[in-house]
C-alpha cells in the first residue's frame, strides 16, 4: 500500500503497479485500460508517493510476475548490481534531481545505464517536466556501428523509408534515390513491404544491396518483414544487412507478434554469421510504440508508458544498431492528440537513451488523431534538441503504403539547418564526393546528369 496526502485528502494506491499507472500523464490508452488517474489531484498525489519511493523497490517488486513473463526474467536476471551501486541509495525523486545535476554527465550516465531497469526509467520520467526529459536525454551518448557511425554528439541520421503500396521496385527505387539526393539514408534504407511473399522480399533485398554496392554508399539496408521471413532469406543466401522486428514489453505481447527472446537470439546470430558490417556488428533494428501491449490485451494492468519502457529491455539485450518508437502510429485510442503524442515521444526518447539505447523516433500521427503537422514540427524540434539518434524520411511526409503522416526529407533539412546537426561522418564524406552536399554540409543543386538521376532513368553514367 502506498499513500500520499494532498491538502486535506488522503490517497491510497494498492500496489506499485497502480501507483505507476496513476502517476502517468493523462493519455487515452490508460483510460481505455481503466488504470489512469481519475483526476489531476489523484495524479499529483501519485507523483508525491512515487517520488518518495526507493529505487530498490523496483528490484523487489516486479510489475509483471517473474514466473509468468520472460521479459521480467530478462530484466531481473540481467540487472547489473555494480552499475546500479552509485544510485542504489536514491529515491525516485532523488534520482530525478541527480539526473539533472552536473554530477550526472555523459560518462556517468553511460556507467550506470546497465543498472537502471525500465521501470526505474519510467518512474522517474513520470515526475519530470518536458524540459527535464530533454536535458537528460541530451546528455546520454549512445554510439552504434555497422557500415557507418550513428549517435555521435551533434549528429542526426535519417532512415530513408521508400515504401510503395504494391512493392513496385521502380517506385521504391525512385523514392530511394530521391531521398539520397536530399542527403537522407545514413541511418538505414528501410522498406516496409506490403507483401509477405518471400521471392518479392528477396528481390527487395537484392535491389537495395545492388544500389548500395554500385554507388559504394556507407549505409545499411533493411526490409522490415517478420523476423522469421528474414531468417528464411538468410538461409537462402539473400544479402541481409539488418534484422528487423517489432517488439513489446511483455512476453504475451511479443507472443502476439509471433516472437520470443530465443527467436530474436537465433536471428541475431544468423545476421552476425554473414559478417556484412564494415565498422561494427550491431545487426538488429527494432520498432516499438506505446499501446502495443494494451492492443494485444497483454499489459497485465501496467500503464502503457511503463510497458513501452520494458520493451527497451528486450532491445538492449540484443545491442541494436537502431531502435525507434513509432510514437503516434497506433492511433488516438492510445495517444489521443498532439499534446499526448509530444509527451510520449519525449518520454520514450528519454527512457531509451537512459537505458543505453540508440533511440530514434518516427514523429508521426494517423489521420484520425487530433493532431497535425504543426504538432509534429514541435515534437521534431524538441527531439532534435534532446539529441535524437535518427528520424524517418518519407517522400512528402505522407507514407502512401502505411497511410499515415510522418516526417519528410525536407524536415530533416530543417532540423539539421536549425541546430547545426551533421550526417553520420562516413555518409557525409560520400555525400560530398557525390556532389550532393557542399563543404558546409548543405544541399547542392542536383545536375541533370547526376549519376543517381541517370540510374533512376535506367542509364549507366
**Residue 461's pLDDT is what?**
39
Rounded CA separation 96/79 (Å)? 20
DSSP-derived pairing of the beta strands 404-405 and 221-223: unpaired
What string of DSSP letters covers 287-318?
A: EE-TTHHHHTT--TT--HHHHHHHHHHHHHHT
pLDDT in tens, 272-316: 999 999 999 999 999 999 999 999 999 999 999 999 999 999 999
Task: Return phi, psi of residue 401, to 5°.
Answer: -100, -50
**Residue 44's pLDDT is what?**
97
**E-strand spans in 376-417?**
390-393, 398-399, 404-405
Q: Which stretch of DSSP H or E encloses residue 188?
A: strand 188-191
Rounded CA separation 112/269 (Å)? 27
Sign of the alpha-carbon torsion through 201, 204, 208, 214: positive
Grid cell locating 258: 509471433
Residue located via cell numbers 502506498: 2
**Residue 387's pLDDT is what?**
98
Task: Return phi, psi of residue 97, to 5°.
Answer: -60, -40
Q: What is the dihedral of CA 261, 262, 267, 271, to 10 degrees?
A: 100
The residue ranges of the chain whose pLDDT is under 70 are 456, 458-461
**Residue 460's pLDDT is what?**
45
Q: Are 177 and 460 in contact (CB under 8 A)?
A: no
**Residue 449's pLDDT is what?**
82
Amino acid at each position: 500500500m502506498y499513500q500520499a496526502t494532498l491538502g486535506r485528502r488522503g490517497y491510497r494506491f494498492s500496489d506499485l503497479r497502480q501507483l505507476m499507472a496513476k502517476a502517468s500523464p493523462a493519455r487515452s490508452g490508460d483510460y481505455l485500460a481503466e488504470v489512469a488517474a481519475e483526476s489531476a489531484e489523484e495524479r499529483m498525489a501519485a507523483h508525491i508517493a512515487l517520488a518518495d519511493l526507493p529505487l530498490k523497490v523496483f528490484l523487489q517488486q516486479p510489475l509483471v510476475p517473474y514466473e509468468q513473463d520472460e521479459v521480467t526474467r530478462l530484466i531481473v536476471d540481467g540487472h547489473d548490481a555494480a552499475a546500479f551501486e552509485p544510485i542504489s541509495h536514491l529515491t525516485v525523486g532523488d534520482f530525478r534531481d541527480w539526473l539533472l545535476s552536473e554530477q550526472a554527465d555523459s560518462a556517468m550516465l553511460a556507467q550506470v545505464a546497465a543498472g537502471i531497469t525500465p521501470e526505474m526509467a519510467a518512474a522517474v520520467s513520470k515526475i519530470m517536466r518536458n524540459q527535464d526529459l530533454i536535458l537528460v536525454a541530451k546528455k546520454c551518448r549512445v554510439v552504434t556501428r555497422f557500415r557507418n557511425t550513428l549517435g555521435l554528439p551533434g549528429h542526426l541520421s535519417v532512415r530513408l523509408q521508400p515504401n510503395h503500396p504494391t512493392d513496385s521496385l521502380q517506385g521504391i527505387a525512385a523514392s530511394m534515390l530521391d531521398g539520397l539526393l536530399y542527403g537522407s539514408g545514413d541511418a538505414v534504407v528501410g522498406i516496409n513491404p506490403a507483401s509477405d511473399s518471400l521471392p518479392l522480399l528477396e528481390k527487395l533485398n537484392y535491389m537495395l544491396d545492388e544500389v548500395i554496392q554500385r554507388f559504394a554508399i556507407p549505409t545499411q539496408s533493411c526490409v522490415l518483414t517478420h523476423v522469421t521471413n528474414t531468417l528464411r532469406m538468410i538461409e537462402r543466401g539473400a544479402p541481409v544487412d539488418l534484422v528487423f522486428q517489432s517488439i513489446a514489453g511483455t512476453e504475451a505481447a511479443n507472443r502476439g507478434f509471433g516472437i520470443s527472446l530465443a527467436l530474436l537470439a537465433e536471428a541475431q546470430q544468423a545476421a552476425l554469421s554473414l559478417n556484412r558490417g564494415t565498422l561494427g556488428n550491431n545487426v538488429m533494428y527494432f520498432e516499438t510504440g506505446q499501446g502495443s501491449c494494451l492492443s494485444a490485451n497483454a499489459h497485465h494492468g501496467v500503464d502503457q508508458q511503463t510497458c513501452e519502457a520494458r520493451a527497451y529491455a528486450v532491445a538492449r539485450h540484443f545491442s541494436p544498431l537502431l531502435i525507434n518508437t513509432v510514437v503516434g502510429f497506433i492511433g488516438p485510442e492510445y495517444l489521443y492528440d498532439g499534446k499526448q503524442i509530444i509527451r510520449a515521444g519525449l518520454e520514450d526518447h528519454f527512457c531509451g537513451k537512459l537505458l543505453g539505447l540508440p533511440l530514434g523516433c518516427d514523429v508521426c500521427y494517423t489521420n484520425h488523431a487530433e493532431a497535425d503537422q504543426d504538432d509534429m514540427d514541435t515534437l521534431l524540434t524538441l527531439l532534435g534538441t534532446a539529441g535524437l539518434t535518427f528520424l524517418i524520411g518519407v517522400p512528402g511526409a505522407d507514407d502512401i503504403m502505411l497511410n499515415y503522416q510522418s516526417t519528410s526529407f525536407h524536415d530533416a533539412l530543417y532540423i539539421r539547418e536549425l541546430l547545426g546537426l551533421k550526417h553520420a561522418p562516413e555518409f557525409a564524406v560520400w555525400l560530398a564526393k557525390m556532389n550532393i552536399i557542399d563543404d558546409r554540409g548543405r544541399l547542392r543543386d542536383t545536375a541533370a546528369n547526376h549519376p543517381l538521376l541517370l540510374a533512376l532513368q535506367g542509364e549507366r553514367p
